[in-house]
Amino acid sequence: MVGGGVWRAYARGVFSVGEGSAFEPWKDWKVGQNGPLALVRAAILAASPHNSQPWLFKVSNTRVELYANTERKSGALDPYLREQHIGLGCALENMMVAAAAHGYTATATLLPGKLAPIPYDPKRQLVAQVNLAPGQQQKSALYDAIPDRHTNRNPYYLTVLPSDFINGVRELAAGEQDVRVFLFIADTDRTRIVDMISNANNVLYADPQVNQGSDKWVRRQWNDVQKFRDGLIVDQAGNAPLESAIMKFTPRPLLRFSFRHGLLRTMSYREVLHATPLFGTIAVRDRYDQEQNLRAGRIWQRAHLLATTYHVAGRPVNEAVELVDYQRLHTQELADAALSELIGDKNNIC
C-alpha cells in the first residue's frame, strides 16, 4: 500500500511543482529567439483571467497582430469579456517590453470597440497590432522579469513595502488620458476593500453558473495540467503544501464538499485578503470600452513585472468589479457606487 500510495502521488504530481511540458514556455522562452516570434514567446507568459490564455497571434516580419480568442472564455464570471480584454492587454505589454529588448522600435495600435454580452457563437477578433521597425536594443529589468512573474495567491506578509516601488506603481499610468492608478495602504482603506471584495465574492459564487464558468479552468488532475497547459493549478491556489497534496488525491465531488464546509482551508478568503499590505485599482472612464480595457491590462502587467523586480508577489482580486458586470447583465441595481467612492473620482470607474 505504501508503494502504491507513492506511485499514485507521483502520478498526480504531488511531488512535481512547476515541472513537465506545461511549464516549458517559461524555461525555453529565449530559445531560438529570433525575429517577431520572440515577442510572441514573451506575450504568452503574460497574466490572463484564470490563466485562460485567450490570445491568438498573426506574425509577419514587420507586424504582430493580436486576436481575442473568444472561445476561451469564463462564461458567467466574465459576461462582457472585460477581463479577457485586460488579459489581452497584458500580452500586448509583454510584446512591447520584448520588442525593445530585441532591437525593435514598436508601435502599438489598439482597435476601438464596445464590449457587449457574449454572443452564443463568439468569433475571433483583432484587438491590437504591433508594427515593428529596426531600432536600438534596450533590455530592461522588466524584460528579465517576464518568466519570473507569476500570480501568487498565498497569504502575504503584512509588511512595509519599498517606497520607490509604491511610487513606481503609482506613476505607471502617467500620460494616460482614460486610465488611472489608485493605491491604498491605510488600515481603514484596506479593511473597507476586504469587506467589499469578500461580500462580492459571496454573492457571485452563490450562482452555479458563475461557479461553472470558473471551475472549467481549474486543473486539479496532474494529467489535465500537462494536457491543457492552461488554467489554475492546485499548487498556485494559496494553500499549504499538505493541503495541496490532499487536494490532488481527493475525488472532485468530495473536494467540492470539503471546500464548501471549510475542511481544507486553514485561512478564509477574508483572512488571506487581510494579510495584504497594499491594494490598488486601475480605473478607466468607461468600463466597457475595449481600448481602455486593453490599456488597463498593459498597466496591470507592467505593475506585476515591476513588483517581480522587487521580489514582491501580486494577484488580481476582481470580485467587486465582476459583481458590477454580473448585476448589469441581470439588470440588477449596480454596486458600483462603493467603488467610485473608494477612489474619490467621479470621472473614472474601476
pLDDT tens-digit map of 56-115: 999 999 999 999 999 999 999 999 999 999 999 999 999 999 999 999 999 999 999 999
pLDDT of residue 197: 95
Residue 108 within a domain: yes
Confidence of residue 9 (pLDDT cuts 50, 70, 90): very low
Backbone angles phi, psi at 128, to 5 degrees: -160, 155
Residue 236 within a domain: no
Residue 172 within a domain: yes
Confidence of residue 181 (pLDDT cuts 50, 70, 90): very high
Confidence of residue 122 (pLDDT cuts 50, 70, 90): confident
Residue 221 within a domain: no
Residue 330 within a domain: yes
Pairing of strands 63-68, 104-110: unpaired
Q: How far is CA 243 from CA 151, 174, 343, in A?
A: 19, 42, 37
**pLDDT tens for each residue of 183-198:** 999 999 999 999 999 9
More confident residue, 171 or 244: 171
Q: Name, in order, each residue with C-beta under 8 angstroms of 53's C-beta and a sequence gap of 6 or more.
A: 44, 72, 230
Q: How far is CA 312 from CA 46, 58, 73, 124, 240, in A?
A: 17, 34, 29, 35, 19
Residue 250 within a domain: no
- pTM check: above 0.85: yes
Distance between start and end Cα atoms, the chain? 54
C-alpha cell at 36: 517577431
Structural domains of the chain, count: 1
Enclosing domain of residue 146: 13-193+273-343
Is 170 in contact with 183 (CB distance < 8 Å)? yes
C-alpha span between 54 and 313 (Å, rounded)? 23
Rg of the Cα trace of the chain? 20
pLDDT of residue 5: 42
pLDDT of residue 8: 41
Average pLDDT of the segment spanning 14-22 = 59
Could you give the residue ranges of the DSSP H alpha helices within 118-206?
141-145, 163-170, 187-204
Residue 216 within a domain: no
C-alpha span between 109 and 107 (Å, rounded)? 7
Pairing of strands 232-233, 279-284: unpaired
More confident residue, 170 or 263: 170
